Amino acid sequence: MYHLDAALALRAAPGIEVMVANPRATKDFARAQMQRSKTDRTDALSLLEFVRRMPFEVWTPPPREILELRALARHLAALAVTRAQEKNRRHALGRVSGVGAPVADAIDAHIAHLDDTIARLQAEAVKGIARSPELAAAFSHLVSVKGIAEASAVAILAELAVLPQDMSAREWVAHAGLDPRRQESGTSVRGQVRISKVGNRHLRRALFMPTIVAVQHEPRIRAFYEKLIARGKKPMQANVAVMRKLLHAIHGMLHHDQDFNGEKFFAMEA
């Protein structure tokens, strides 16, 4: 959600009321005005006219515990990246015999510090989730998926909890940048279909490893993946398709207060 930090900052400023408009609504409004050009100026004028004509709905920010969870989860993800980089450096250093002992010791100490920090912050995130009945229920549903463990559930929930309750599963997929984007021109150019990646990279990253694990350990997810491979999809394409379908499943789980149901995810042929 690119707007969230800006909206929070504006709402904290004195004398300012904030409305967060649906991008689709503002885009359709500009089309209705027969706006053909797209520049910063024309966009600003269109938004000004939108505010003048449409009912002003004051934006209510997510609860503090959700914002704190998101901050924790994103910091944990950054620390995990740093730890992976340090482990790669340590591995590379170890391949050079008799070189870099002081550096190796420093890297080992840094990795140990990162391990401790990640474990502590992860525990804090889980405690924060447990204090909220709504977050605790959603967390329980997430970990019911074989492949989504505690750390992944924290990361996924932190990104989903800040989203408006009325967003559809398809809008979740677009928000994550997992929606397919075709490349076509005329009758001769048919580019490979790729995901848009125009969206929340944190959510996309949080879903990736759980999808890989779920393909290995959840029979229905595995069956769906294998069907895609049999149809000619490459492994990465199939994994992305599983990520999309898993996000749809999570949407249903959280909105209907249910654990994961493999039969609903993919019905195997008799």
CA distances (Å), origin 28, targets 22, 37, 120: 10, 14, 46
- Within a domain: residue 146? no
Does residue 175 sit in the same domain as residue 240? yes
Q: Cβ contacts of residue 32 below 8 Å, gap of 6+?
A: none
Instruction: Determine, yes or no, domain membership for 72.
Output: yes
pLDDT band at 25 (very low <50, low <70, confident <90, very high): confident
In a domain, 198, yes or no: yes
Residue 59 belongs to a domain = no
Question: Are residues 175 and 123 part of one domain?
Answer: no
Residue 222 pLDDT greater than 80, yes or no: yes
Give the tens place of pLDDT for each residue, 99-126: 668 888 999 999 999 999 999 999 999 9
pLDDT beyond 70 at 204: yes
Asked whether residue 49 is domain-assigned, the answer is yes
Give the pLDDT confidence score for residue 190 in this predicted structure: 47
- Number of domain units in the chain: 3
% of the chain at pLDDT higher than 90: 59
Which among 53, 76, 92 is the end of a domain?
53
In three-state secondary structure terms, 213 is: helix
Where in the sequence is the domain holding 28, given as residue range(s)?
Answer: 4-53
pLDDT at 1: 54
pLDDT band at 78 (very low <50, low <70, confident <90, very high): very high
- The set of residues, in sequence order, having a beta carbon less than 8 Å from that of 63 and lying 6+ positions away, is 132
Same domain, 189 and 258: yes
The whole-number average pLDDT for the span 49-53 is: 90
Tell me, yes or no, whether 220 lies in a domain. Answer: yes
The answer on 216 and 174 residing in a single domain is yes
Q: Are residues 179 and 215 in the same domain?
A: yes
